[in-house]
Amino acid sequence: MLESWLLQQACGDLTQHPAVTHALTEFGGVPHIQSVSEVTDHVGLSSRRFIEVFDDEIGLTPKLYCRIRRFQHAIRLVHESDDVDWADLAARVGYYDQSHLIGEFQEFSGLNPSAYLKDRGIHMNHVLFRA
């Protein structure tokens, strides 16, 4: 019984809801979206319903998805430079200010930006673990 349910889940409908497809296109076109309503205004769903559909299909809320994309954009820019101007970086990727960048950096990486910069390896998103 479990096996048949798992097979049904694995072979389920793979078509993406048009609202999710549109949102992913919009989110990919800019480094940051100011609000989910910027997208929901164009997809014909209420904000609440859009968030449900997006979360069901992507596994993250639209806001968290955009926050992670913005953080990853910041990480890419950090890896392009040896001398990072954190305030400039925050503005370039859409953070309100440097303190918001630092807070989100710590939330997603567990490190403050300076510690990440000091311990970053050659691979983006990887830091050497020191015991």
Position 125 scores a pLDDT of 64
Who wins on pLDDT, 4 or 111?
A: 111
Lowest mean pLDDT among 22-26, 28-32, 77-81, 118-122: 28-32
Q: Calculate helix-pair angle for 18-29, 47-58, nearest 10 degrees.
A: 90
Among 131, 103, 128, 108, smallest CA distance to 117 is for: 128
Q: How many residues does the chain have?
A: 131
Q: What is the pLDDT of residue 127?
A: 58
Q: What is the CATH number of the domain that holds 113?
A: 1.10.10.60
Domain end point (choices 30, 48, 64): 64
Same domain, 48 and 32: yes
pTM higher than the cut 0.85 = no
- Tell me the residue range of the domain where 53 lies: 13-64
Tokens encoding 21: 């497809």
pLDDT 10s digits, 27-78: 887 656 667 778 888 888 898 999 999 999 999 999 999 999 999 899 889 8
